[in-house]
Amino acid sequence: MRVILIGGSKTVYFLARGFVQRRYHVTIINRDPVRSRELAQTTKATVVLGEGTDINRLEEAGARQADILLALTSKDQDNLIACQIAQRKFGIPRTIALVNDPENEAVFKQLGVQMAFSATRIIASIIEQETDFDDITNMMSLAQGRVNIIDVRLDKDSPAIGKTLTELELTDNALIACIIRNNVMIVPRGLTRLEVNDHLLLISDPQHQKQNLIVLTGHYT
């Protein structure tokens, strides 16, 4: 499997590392020189410096042989253009795009992107269903079970209460992608401090899921 990832986020990092472990041929296109060096060193993927909308950079990344392209930048226009070029110019059979503005999701699909997903819409769905969630809910499994996304609610007895993200002893294979607090989404930073009734969107590999949930809640189920 030959995969091209466009972007430099932690999501790109986790996906690249997981794909490399599965022996996929992974290439990342990223425009930031410093982040590109970090990704090359930490994921063992091939990294191409440049824009994912640049035909020459896509050619350099092996687009003609690629099986799938994932455009995961913070700019919807770039993600859309990259997917369109991937399909029309290089014939990549599968394209997936992150849609930052949920109102653009339908437009992406109308313009031929095979899979467009909005993190904002997914999180809004979580908020709407919040009353139906227990403390820990396995939401979905990705990459054929190699990555789990889990909704975790912190109660007053959770050991993570009052700690910043940098103080948590989560495994290297874990990431708190967002916090929902009082029906407001927070993009967490290292110094973000956790509070009672926070909902955390935890991304973890299954092998370390139990350990990470114990760190956050004090229990596994």
As a whole number of angstroms, the distance between CA 23 and CA 170 comes to 25
150 against 130, higher pLDDT = 150
pLDDT computed for residue 54 by the predictor: 96
Q: Are strands 46-49 and 68-71 parallel, antiparallel or unpaired?
A: unpaired
CB 130 within 8 A of CB 174: no
pLDDT computed for residue 106 by the predictor: 81
Residue 182: Cβ within 10 Å count: 8
- Structure tokens of 90? 């290089």
- Structure tokens of 188? 């967490």
Name the phi and psi angles at 212, rounded to 5. -70, -35
Residue 141 in this model has a pLDDT that exceeds 80: no
- At 131, the pLDDT band (50, 70, 90 cuts) reads very low
pLDDT computed for residue 152 by the predictor: 87
Q: What is the mean pLDDT of residues 178-185?
A: 85
Structural domains in the chain, CATH included, are 2-119 (3.40.50.720), 130-217 (3.30.70.1450)
Residue 187 in this model has a pLDDT that exceeds 70: yes
The pLDDT tens digits of the residues spanning 63-103 come to 999 999 999 999 999 999 999 999 999 999 989 998 888 88
Name the phi and psi angles at 106, rounded to 5. -65, -35
pLDDT computed for residue 133 by the predictor: 42
129 against 69, higher pLDDT = 69
pLDDT computed for residue 73 by the predictor: 93
pLDDT computed for residue 178 by the predictor: 86
